[in-house]
């Protein structure tokens, strides 16, 4: 514990304003966040180090990084599922200590309950939070229509393909109408074509619903295609290496994938990620990349 306090007492100089969008107030505000795990063998693992990030309302931010860089940990901390070790995290101005109702989470795997129909699965969060049944039922049906599963509401998850299951999970994440949606590699298990289709769908859902979305991925094209900004993270301990603005116009289409700017941004990020992987391991205490 002494170590943690020591870290907190000695803040690094971070250019604070580079993440700030002056026009809207931030949906999520993270400053100097550190996360240290204690493993079962009682060893300390420094998972996240000095993360500062501000996400504006209605913004779509994507996070890329090598596996094990702590990006899932960061998302779980934002979701209130894990405590942070030091630093500060605010959602719409308030500190987070437990899961919030205005945050929806979509996990890596769909995690649908196999004994519930698709509709019942989508309704689960509304049921748990005790929202009025009629309203949430109508909303769940709307969401299923939006993700193209209107005809499948009475099917069981086992009867659905992976892509359909993940779309049901996205509907479930949105059923309580959260202002913020956190997504942890939601399309990682899908084949390339389904994945592109899901990216297009997600962009449409985001534009129609006006949510703030933070999406974690290890696909660079996916990060660039979806994000207003791409946060690039370093390997463990996870730091923010760079935040890349994506000035591509919306709505982005499959043609965007062939756009010169898209290609340049993707290869820039790729080069950055590779250089981090090579350069980093020797100097642990060094500054930001």
> CA–CA separation, 238 vs 205, rounded Å?
30
The two tokens of residue 11 are 């803040």
Q: Do residues 52 and 33 lie in contact, with contact meaning Cβ atoms separated by under 8 Å?
A: yes
What minimum distance in Å lies between the beta carbon of 258 and another protein? 37
What minimum distance in Å lies between the beta carbon of 101 and another protein? 6
- Closer residue to another protein (CB): 81 or 200: 81
Q: Which residues bind another protein (CB under 8 A)?
A: 79, 81, 98-101, 105, 107, 109, 111, 113-115, 124-125, 127-129, 156, 158, 176
What minimum distance in Å lies between the beta carbon of 149 and another protein? 18
Say which residues have a Cβ less than 8 Å from residue 34's Cβ, sequence separation at least 6: 4, 7, 8, 46, 48, 49, 50, 51, 84, 85, 86, 87
What minimum distance in Å lies between the beta carbon of 22 and another protein? 32
Say which residues have a Cβ less than 8 Å from residue 100's Cβ, sequence separation at least 6: 80, 91
> CA–CA separation, 117 vs 111, rounded Å?
13
What minimum distance in Å lies between the beta carbon of 25 and another protein? 24
């Amino acid at each position: 514990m002494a170590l943690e306090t020591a870290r907190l007492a000695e803040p690094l100089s971070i250019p604070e304003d580079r993440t700030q969008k002056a026009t809207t107030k931030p949906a999520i505000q993270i400053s100097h966040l550190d996360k240290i795990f204690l493993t079962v063998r009682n060893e300390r693992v420094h998972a996240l180090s000095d993360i500062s990030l501000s996400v504006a309302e209605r913004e779509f931010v994507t996070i890329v990084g090598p596996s094990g860089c702590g990006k899932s940990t960061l998302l779980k901390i934002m979701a209130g599922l894990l405590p942070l070790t030091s630093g500060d995290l605010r959602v719409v101005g308030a500190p987070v200590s437990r899961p919030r109702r205005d945050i929806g989470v979509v996990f890596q795997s769909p995690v649908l309950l196999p004994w519930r129909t698709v509709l019942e699965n989508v309704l689960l969060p509304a049921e748990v939070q005790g929202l009025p049944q009629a309203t949430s039922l109508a909303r769940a049906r709307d969401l299923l229509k939006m993700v193209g599963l209107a005809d499948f509401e009475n099917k069981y998850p086992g009867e659905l393909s992976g892509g359909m299951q993940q779309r049901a999970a996205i509907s479930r994440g949105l059923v309580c109408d959260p202002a913020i949606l956190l997504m942890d590699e939601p399309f990682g298990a899908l084949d390339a074509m389904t994945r592109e289709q899901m990216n297009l769908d997600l962009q449409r859902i985001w534009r129609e619903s006006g949510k703030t979305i933070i999406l974690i991925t290890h696909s660079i094209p996916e990060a660039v295609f979806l994000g207003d900004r791409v946060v690039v993270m370093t390997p463990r301990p996870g730091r923010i290496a760079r935040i890349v603005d994506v000035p591509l116009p919306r709505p982005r289409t499959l043609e965007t994938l062939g756009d010169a700017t898209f290609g340049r941004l993707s290869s820039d990020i790729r080069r950055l990620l590779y250089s981090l992987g090579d350069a980093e391991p020797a100097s642990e205490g060094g500054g930001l990349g």
